[in-house]
Structure 1
């Protein structure tokens, strides 16, 4: 991880700055979320499993209004989560925004009757447990300042009313992420930390494939939830800034 320039905490005469972490951010939706958060003046940590790819992504954002720093992060590895959390605490002493975007495992043709549940394990490890271990590890830094925005990037196909025979591992893992979102939000009610899920819609990325909505539009709904004003709604499922059913 490259060491960023020293930042001065807000005082009575200095504006509050926000520090954000976006996982799975070296390409696609995550990269665009980083870009838009930076446009809002935030310091953004661009999480990537491959650090070299993270550095390449940061170079593309040279000149952005907010500072963007590449950080090594595989959300399925507890040691990398712990190392990054320690680094954030030492470097900034705070973390204001967490966007749990790392994902994949879009198994469109897999059937619920399959005997091979390996893809489901992988999807749950990233979408549910990755978000869980990172959120819980970073909560102390949010509690310290009584402020936080946790955005879990979910999908409408994980909603309880969605019925389809496709994407069983992806669908199940996003449904589990939705349940975790609601539970964590209920626990943190009144703490100043808002926890919400966002469906970006079908976005034209490497994961989503061609034909979807522009990545800028999908990312905008996530960035909106990451920068909610005080007091902020919590425990909700959003798409494009509008509540959708769980």
Structure 2
């Protein structure tokens, strides 16, 4: 209970909400690092995932690359990059981008591969070129999984962006590492709470974005495949009379 009271007092202190070390500035710094990493991850992972998902070639590379990048320790990668490149923003962004690529890559690849093959065949049957099939048919149907990968990547990057403070950068991690150095446990708890709150807030915003851009039909089906003949099969046939009478003879026409 004592640490809880100290945590409330920390947030109630106006000194922590102003100046270069205040919460608003640290928030912008944290979002800046995370946004750069997600942007780079999208530029790298999205084209590869779409291309491999569309052609079906090199899928084993996608699986191996995604699993390999997930296994890398972020703090170790950051320290290694700093040793080779020096302290700067580039090592931080590269380390966070490595974390963002696997979920983005997996989401793009799985989204394209899960599109109903009958829909793709129908698009080719009406004369669409491969590029049109990818961007006008497969990509809209793959949006739920692509955005799901983006949400997963955003959560991981925001939660890990605190490591930037380990190499003298800002963000909410500054409260954690500075508090650890001077044994200010309320400050450490405040930094961890701010990171968690920011991750949840971004997750909520991205969920709203996904709901607004994804077709209601895809949301209703939960991303499951649906055969284009399903609607035809479910359409009731016109009712037939129980005792149909013979067709009337045309006037003037003999049998």
- Which category describes the TM-score, using the shorter chain as reference length? under 0.3
Q: Which has the higher helix share?
A: 2
TM normalised by structure 2 equals 0.25
TM normalised by structure 1 equals 0.26
Higher alpha-carbon Rg:
2
